[in-house]
Structure 1
């Protein structure tokens, strides 16, 4: 007995194990026959493990009830069960059947609320995407195996999925065709004459439609253009954050030309005279090094209107000026606009508030003290302290030095009152003997040895 599932990833043919799991096969066949699975999403895709489907609306929808068995009498249009007390049934676990082969089909089960040791099944089923999936043994009831359509399984296996395992682009069961049905229809069963259209609840769960064609950016030029636009946008946002640009979307002025590859001897007056034949020039400046004053060989020329700037752009490209062939382009610099914007903003703020920069709590940063008084760098070496502060510091340290002098004098007086050490002449006056010979060496040990020897001979 076989069932054909037409999915958006391809057709899958399932052979049913009618003799080993008759109840599961009957439930699956009748649900397919009632078109209950039409437009059901494929979800919980785990690469090289399995995927799950069978909930006609999808577990992420608040309108989903998880699906119903055929004995709950659901219809293929509203997907609602007429007998909620029979939405689940106890499935058979085929003896000796394991999830060893890729494409094994089994009913997903859940614990019974009344009897925790009992497992119940409804409409959801699992198809393995790998071999030897032992984790499903004893938990999912096997009732079939995939006979054809392994290429569709591979597409599902390699689909891009989110953190919950749902494919980013929908993969759905579009139609179900029962190739052979050996079971009688249950009482009250109604087979729809044709496949029903998706319900409103099902359409509400569409993320990216299965038939939506995603544009493939294979053109390298387009990809490079897109990359440059994104990089330019990121740089503009960075310049806006640090204050170099008033706004990230600011556009450069349209009447300013950028001229480069100039001869170092070319002056502002020379360029202004040459370009003035195209119209009124508001400013012409050759950019120079701040320290040396040497030309950096590029300039900005601002015209009075856009039309004159465009004429100069088309006529002056590659013209020879002072033996240098120049290059002309429209200016992309917005530094002048930024300076004007910052100056206008700061001036308005300063008029409203006092202090430096419009804030009373701010002070202008000074590199050297006393710079306001006209002293230059290094005069009087006042890098840290000026004369007044040095004088104040000496006045503050005066009492401390007086205190230190008093303490030192007190220590000297205490040392003068201590008993002085006896010298050699004092010891001579006390015992009347000099214990040193003419050479200044001690004779006490020799005298003591002589006295001991005399005492021994008398005995």
Structure 2
């Protein structure tokens, strides 16, 4: 006995275990026959575990009654039961059937309010998305298995869901087709001639329609903005790794203004006097060249409060100072903050002052290794100081020489060390060789002279 579920994720074919769970199979087949599951949402998706459906309206709706069994005589169009006392039934639990394979289909059950030892089922059913789901054994009544449509199960398994497990884009049971039905219809059951349209209650539960096409953002300006944000994020992470930033998400101070297009003759005192009318100025610095001392025509002004900084920003934009119309913006620089963090971190007393690197206003948000992950007193195997390594090697060599000398005992020879003896022998050999070559040269000259006289 088989049933075909046409869902928005794909078709799913289910074979029923009629001999093991006759009541569960009859309930499921008759509900599919009257189109009770049409437009029912898929909810409670747990990746690699299971998903649940069968409530025709959805458990999040206030109009939902949780679903009714076929013996409650529900209407396929309105989804309302005419016999509320028969909405639930007691399903069959078989010990030989386990949730061992992916695609196992079982009725969702709840504990009876009258008898805690009994579990009752209605219309909701569960399909497993993984193997060996032992947690459902004894709690969900198995009545079938998926034989076709595992690609649809994979789409449901990989769907984006919210905190309650409901997919962000609706996944619905669109149609149900009974391929083989061995049961007789219960009295009062009417089968609709055609598939009913979704009810108003069902349409009210739509979040993102299953047939709605989600177009990607193709705006060139938006894509360029996204690219710049990703590039800035990557650069910030690089600066964090090399130690130029305390953390990648560091934000610039909110009470610092950036002023540019200044006249080269504008001094710090003049700029501070002009901007001090908006509030207390903590610092005003015109940035200059380190070698020449010439103004680079921009400055940073730090106010005592954020409100004073905002007031100066709105009032000083485009103002004429020393025949130059300046440009004012909020500072995006964190160089001063990074310099303060580095100097405090490198100081010996930074640890005792609290905060991150000794700065109370700066907190450490990210850390690639925990405080206790590594013993800082130890050394890495591949990073060492050459001088210290050489000294350690020398120490080990001296220890080895002393130990060998102790084993040999005191030396009785007064001869010079081996290296000095070799050096003397080499010099002596060089001297003998030079005398030998000089003697042969003189001998050759004498023989050549005698030969010359004899020829004459």
Partner of 1:21: 21
Aligned position for 1:5: 5
Q: What is the aligned partner in structure 2 of residue 190 from structure 1?
A: 190
Where does structure 1 differ by over 3 angstroms across 4 or more consecutive aligned residues? 217-222, 226-232, 287-298, 336-344
Are the counterparts in 2 of residues 244 and 338 from structure 1 also a CA contact under 8 Å? no
Say if 1:24 and 1:288 are closer, same or farther in 2 by CA, change over 3 A: closer
Residue in structure 1 matched with residue 314 of structure 2 by the alignment: 341
Counterpart-to-counterpart distance in 1, 2:131 and 2:255: 60
Partner of 1:56: 56
Aligned partner of 1:30 in structure 2 is 30
Q: Secondary structure at the match of 1:242?
A: coil
Structure 1: gaps (5+ residues): 233-237, 246-257, 269-286, 299-335, 345-459
CA distance in 2 between counterparts of 1:228 and 1:205 reads 38
Alpha-carbon distance in 2 for matches of 1:54, 1:26: 15
Instruction: Describe the superposition over 1:268-316 as per-residue Cα deviations: whole angstroms up to 9, x where unpaired.
Output: 9xxxxxxxxxxxxxxxxxx995997736389xxxxxxxxxxxxxxxxxx
TM-score calculated relative to the size of structure 2 = 0.53
- CA displacement at 1:218 relative to structure 2: 7.3
CA distance in 1, matches of 2:229, 2:67: 48
Alignment of 1:5-404 (within 5 A): 5-217=5-217, 222-226=222-226, 228=228, 242=254, 289=288, 294=294, 296=296, 339=312, 341-342=314-315
- In 2, the alpha carbon distance for the partners of 1:131 and 1:28 equals 23
Rounded to whole Å, the distance in 1 between the matches of 2:218 and 2:138 is: 47
Give the secondary-structure state (helix, strand or coil) at the position aligned to 2:296: strand
Q: Aligned partners of 2:72 and 2:58: how far apart in 1?
A: 18
SS at match of 1:125: strand
TM-score, normalised via structure 1 length = 0.53
Give the distance between the partners of 1:222 and 1:242, measured in 2 at CA. 26
CA distance in structure 2 between the partners assigned to 1:198 and 1:147 by the alignment: 28
Contact conserved, 2:93 with 2:141, CA < 8 A, in 1? yes
Q: What is the CA-CA distance between 1:228 and the residue it aligns to?
A: 4.5
Do 1:7 and 1:171's aligned partners in 2 also have CA atoms closer than 8 Å?
A: yes
Aligned-residue Cα RMSD (Å) equals: 3.7
Mapping 1:398-417, distance limit 5 Å: none
Shift of 1:169: 1.1
Q: Report the structure number with the largest CA radius of gyration.
A: 1
C-alpha distance after superposition, 1:157-187 (max 9, x if no partner): 1111111111111111011111111111111
What are the Cα deviations for residues 343-385 of structure 1, in whole angstroms up to 9, with x where unaligned? 79xxxxxxxxxxxxxxxxxxxxxxxxxxxxxxxxxxxxxxxxx
Could you tell me how far apart the structure 2 residues matched to 1:132 and 1:194 are?
39
Q: Helix, strand or coil for the counterpart of 1:5?
A: strand
* Paired positions, count: 271
